[in-house]
Amino acid sequence: MTGAGGNLGKVLRTRLRPYADTLRLSDVRPLDPAGPGEEVIPCDLADARAVDALVDGVDAIVHMGGVSVERPFEEILPANIQGVYNLYESARRHGVKRVVFASSNHVTGFYRQGQVIDADAPVRPDGYYGISKAFGENLSRFYYDRYGIETVCLRIGSSFPEAQDRRMLITWLSYDDLTRLIAQSLFTPNVGHTIVYGVSANRESWWDNSRATHLGYAPQDNSEPFRAKAEAQPPLAPDDPAARYQGGAFVKAGPFES
Ligand code: 15L
């Protein structure tokens, strides 16, 4: 698993442990020392040789690494564009047959809230981060078509302990459901190249996962326990782009842009 030091990587470090004989963990950030059944290999995804050494000997990759929020393009480029290329090239060289790629709902963040889309809807990224995830999805499609490396792209919604606002009541993915989704993505035979939205069984959904039923992903959780607290917050103005588009605040230009 790449990105083992990130928010979701830390959560998954313990949760994915039972699914592997050895869980190899990497990040560019410092990680806790390896525990039983773990290997820790520091790695900068932009460093092709380091990625090649990281991937040598693994059966499958859960790729959580890279920049996970909107940032200037120059910061996105090394880890999310060059890095995902390095990873797939190494997977090809070492004969890795399955990748689970942490994509994001921000690949389609410029669809309107309330519109229901599925994985066949054309991408509408809401920033450089979303563009980089769309690149990873396209790259993984290419590596499947040319080299037969299977990938499940998880367009993760909002995976936090709680749904924190009105948008997250719809986009929330519990940690348990995330773990279920990754396990299904790793172990379901013949996934080919699959795109699935990573979302719990919330009351309202903008995302139709009927194109990915072969994964057998059955979310068990929903955001209802957080509704009262989320709805107690004042709503955004209706003309605020964060209230109009599925990507929420990501659709707005970052403070770093002039
Ligand atoms: C993401 O892709 C981010 O990694 C995460 O921090 C959240 O902001 C999430 O999307 C979201 O859309 O809520």
Q: Does the residue 257 lie in any domain?
A: no
Q: Does the residue 45 lie in any domain?
A: yes
What pLDDT is recorded for position 258?
61
pLDDT tens profile 29-74: 999 999 999 999 999 999 999 999 999 999 999 999 999 999 999 9
Q: Does the residue 2 lie in any domain?
A: no
Told to judge if 129 belongs to the known catalytic residues of this protein, a careful annotator would answer yes
pLDDT tens profile 68-89: 999 999 999 999 999 999 999 9
* CB atoms inside a 10 Å sphere around CB 119: 19
Number of domains in the chain: 1
Q: Does the residue 105 lie in any domain?
A: yes
Crossing angle of helices 7-15 and 175-187, rounded to 10°: 70
What letter represents residue 62's amino acid?
V
| Residue 68 near ligand 1, beta carbon < 6 Å | yes
* Beta carbons of 33 and 40 less than 8 angstroms apart: yes
Taking the centre of ligand 1 as the mean of its atom positions, its distance from the CA of residue 139, in whole angstroms, is 21
| Residue 174 near ligand 1, beta carbon < 6 Å | no
Atom of ligand 1 nearest to the CA of 104: 2
Taking the centre of ligand 1 as the mean of its atom positions, its distance from the CA of residue 94, in whole angstroms, is 31
**What are the DSSP calls for 201-229, one per residue?**
--SS-SEE-GGGGGG-------SGGGHHH
Q: Does the residue 256 lie in any domain?
A: no
Q: Could you tell me the residue range of the domain that residue 172 belongs to?
A: 7-251
The sign of the dihedral angle between the CA atoms of 163, 5, 27, 92 is: negative
| Residue 151 near ligand 1, beta carbon < 6 Å | no
* Beta carbons of 25 and 38 less than 8 angstroms apart: yes
Q: Does the residue 114 lie in any domain?
A: yes
Catalytic residue among 85, 88, 128, 129: 129
d(C-alpha 85, C-alpha 80), whole Å = 8
d(C-alpha 150, C-alpha 68), whole Å = 23
Six-digit token pair at 68?
Answer: 């996970």
Q: Which has the closest alpha carbon to 54: 82, 26, 35?
A: 26
Q: Does the residue 194 lie in any domain?
A: yes
Taking the centre of ligand 1 as the mean of its atom positions, its distance from the CA of residue 158, in whole angstroms, is 5
Residue 103's beta-bridge partner residues?
155
Spell out the per-residue pLDDT of the chain, length 258, in tens.
999 999 999 999 999 999 999 999 999 999 999 999 999 999 999 999 999 999 999 999 999 999 999 999 999 999 999 999 999 999 999 999 999 999 999 999 999 999 999 999 999 999 999 999 999 999 999 999 999 999 999 999 999 999 999 999 999 999 999 999 999 999 999 999 999 999 999 999 999 999 999 999 999 999 999 999 999 999 999 999 999 999 999 999 776 776
The residue whose C-alpha atom lies closest to atom 7 belonging to ligand 1 is 158
What pLDDT is recorded for position 120?
97
Q: Does the residue 1 lie in any domain?
A: no
d(C-alpha 207, C-alpha 235), whole Å = 22
Q: Which has the closest alpha carbon to 157: 216, 190, 202?
A: 202
Taking 3-state DSSP, the helix, strand and coil percentages for the chain, each rounded to the nearest 5, stand at 40, 15, 45
Atom of ligand 1 nearest to the CA of 7: 6
What pLDDT is recorded for position 253?
78
The residue whose C-alpha atom lies closest to atom 13 belonging to ligand 1 is 158
CATH of the domain at 208: 3.40.50.720
* Beta carbons of 197 and 155 less than 8 angstroms apart: yes
What pLDDT is recorded for position 254?
73
d(C-alpha 97, C-alpha 148), whole Å = 7
d(C-alpha 68, C-alpha 91), whole Å = 22
